[in-house]
Amino acid sequence: MSDVNRKRVLLLVPLVTYRATDFVVAANRLRLDVVIGSDGALPLGGNPVVPIDSADPGGSVRHLVATVGKVDAVVAVDAAMLPLAARLATELGLAHNTVDAVVAAADKAIQRRLWAQAGIAQPHFQVIAADAGERHCLEAARALGFPCIAKPVSLSASRGVLRVDDEAGLATAVTQIRAILAETSAGDQEPVLLEEYVPGCEVSIDGLLANGSLAVTAAFDKPDTPEGPTFEETLLVTPSRLPEPTLAEAIDLAGRAARALGLRHGPIHAELRIDSRTGEARPVMLELAARSIGGLCSRVLRFLGGMSLEMMILLNALGREVEPTPSAGAVGVLMLPVDHAGVLESVDGREEALAVPGITGLSITIPIGETVRPLPWGDRYLGFLFAEGSAAVEVEDSLRAAHRRLRPLIV
């Protein structure tokens, strides 16, 4: 690691994120000089924290330039900091995605339009403006056919994503999405995206872009691909068991989809479905984010040489060439869903879950005593289960067995 010694990296950390600790640990392992800019995070690992205001990107850029001085890379620890990171990197003359590209990656309606222009395989869609009437919504849904999917254009982690099976359910779904948006900074005036429902299994492609070229860090199968009415992600296992030609097509599609948004640098997290309607296992793009996989999921990934995903993201930001080579065997993570709304009183069965062969870790990330909500309202999982094994099916069995032993009490 000596070739990156004394390099200086600015980490932009939002107030709420799972990812900050893992990035600081990765920077320390690479022996980087770290400065943190944040709109509320406490000092991490003894590194200085420069206060910023994410609602004032122009003022924050000026403050960071004046305060931090020269840095060799700017890295957004989570999606909320991507626009600021792009602005700051541009100001400092560092290689980074443009502001327009990261904005496009955060807006599902812009994504769909840019992908349509580029001929990217994706579901047919309609964008419903906030002031559109019920008749317009019905006409758009009829044009797509039922079932279809209704979702907000700005939210992530499947929040607000609903399957609509008929005309009676359409108004209910749109009203519910508007209520969910009203709780967020997006407000209830953003468009709603309607898209055709694509049956089939899902796969997520994670990778690093370097001058537009995609190096895959992981391809996760989702054995419990949901069919609705909500679309929580729970079980992720890698390496993928898709046939090699199908997986290669999915990876190529993810790379082209990223470039169509204008993304050229850094991590991406792409979600695809393998369309089962034609019998040809055709990958189609669902969504793509200009960040790595969310939550604590990256902790399950291990690469040759003891590299973590966050270490590779930092090296990529510093302009170093990385060749992700996963360790042998299979790994997986199960994001623990919230079954119903209430107060989390306890999570029993932890020791039994950890005793299941193949389980390598368990992290309950919601403090006891906090109020929780399931999808489509909720935006958090109870925690994360991690496993490894010699084959993907073995990992999947371990995660299911451990999950059955956990007994969360939500009152």
Q: Which residue has 């306890």 as its token pair? A: 346
pLDDT at 62: 93
Mark whether 83 and 160 lie in a shared domain: no
pLDDT at 299: 94
- Whether residue 249 is contained in a domain is answered as no
Residue 156 dihedral angles phi and psi, to the nearest 5° = -125, -175
pLDDT at 157: 86
Q: Would you tell me how many other CB atoms lie within 10 Å of the CB of residue 133?
A: 10
Mark whether 94 and 9 lie in a shared domain: yes
- Whether residue 225 is contained in a domain is answered as no
Which of 153, 175, 196 corresponds to the end of one domain? 196
Side chain identity at residue 96, one-letter code: H
Residue 9 near residue 34 (C-beta atoms within 8 A): yes
pLDDT at 379: 86
Mark whether 98 and 9 lie in a shared domain: yes
HEC per residue, 341-391: CEEEEEEECHHHHHCCCCEEEEEECCCCCCEECCCCCCCCCCEEEEEEECC
- List, for the chain, all residue ranges whose pLDDT scores fall below the cut of 50: 1-2
pLDDT at 41: 73
Residue 221 near residue 230 (C-beta atoms within 8 A): no
Q: In sequence order, which residues have a C-beta less than 8 Å from that of residue 190 and are 6 or more positions away? A: 130, 152, 153, 154, 181
Mark whether 6 and 92 lie in a shared domain: yes
C-alpha 207/C-alpha 291 separation (Å) is: 9
Side chain identity at residue 283, one-letter code: P
C-alpha 104/C-alpha 102 separation (Å) is: 5
Which of 103, 134, 167 corresponds to the end of one domain? 103
Which of 173, 196, 219 corresponds to the end of one domain? 196
Q: Which residue has 């690093």 as its token pair? A: 208
Closest CA to 387 of 219, 271, 236: 236
Run of H or E residues at 119: none
Tell me the CA distances in angstroms from 390 to 152, 201, 216, 398, one per residue in order: 39, 23, 21, 12
pLDDT at 4: 62
C-alpha 88/C-alpha 317 separation (Å) is: 14
Domain carrying residue 39: 2-103
Mark whether 20 and 65 lie in a shared domain: yes
Mark whether 40 and 128 lie in a shared domain: no
The number of domains in the chain is: 3
- Whether residue 271 is contained in a domain is answered as no
Residue 123 sits at the vertex; the CA angle it makes with 115 and 155, to the nearest 5 degrees, is 75
pLDDT at 351: 98
User: Residue 99: which CATH number?
Assistant: 3.40.50.20
Residue 151 near residue 163 (C-beta atoms within 8 A): no
**Residue-wise pLDDT tens digits, 249-268:** 999 999 999 999 999 999 99
pLDDT at 5: 64
Mark whether 82 and 147 lie in a shared domain: no
* Coil/strand/helix, residue 157: coil
**Residue-wise pLDDT tens digits, 204-249:** 999 999 999 999 999 999 999 989 999 988 999 999 999 999 999 9
Mark whether 91 and 143 lie in a shared domain: no
pLDDT at 398: 98
Mark whether 65 and 20 lie in a shared domain: yes
User: Residue 153: which CATH number?
Assistant: 3.30.1490.20
- Whether residue 163 is contained in a domain is answered as yes
